[in-house]
A and B are shown apart, each in its own frame.
Chain A
Amino acid sequence: MCAVIGCYLRITLAGFHRFSTYRQAVVAGTATNIVFGLIKVGILTAVYVARDGAPIGGYDLTTTITYVWLGQGLLGVVDFWGDDELAERIRSGDVVVDLSRPWNLQAALLCGDLGRAGFGLVARFIPQLALGALFFPFRWPGDPWVVWPAFLISTACAVLVSFHIRFLLHLTSFWLLDSRGVINLYRIVGATLAGLEVPLSYFPDWAQAVLVFTPFPAMLQDPINVFVQVGSLPLTLAHQLLWVALLAAAGRLLLDGAVRKVVVQGG
Chain B
Amino acid sequence: MTVSGVILTVLLCAAAGLTLYRILRGPAVLDRVIATDVLLAVVVAAIAAEAAFSRDATALPVLVVLSILGFVGSVGVARLGSSTAEPDTAASAAAGQSDTDPAALNVPTHGGRS
Q: Do A and B bind each other?
A: no
Residues on A lying within 8 angstroms of B by beta carbon are none
Residues on B lying within 8 angstroms of A by beta carbon are none
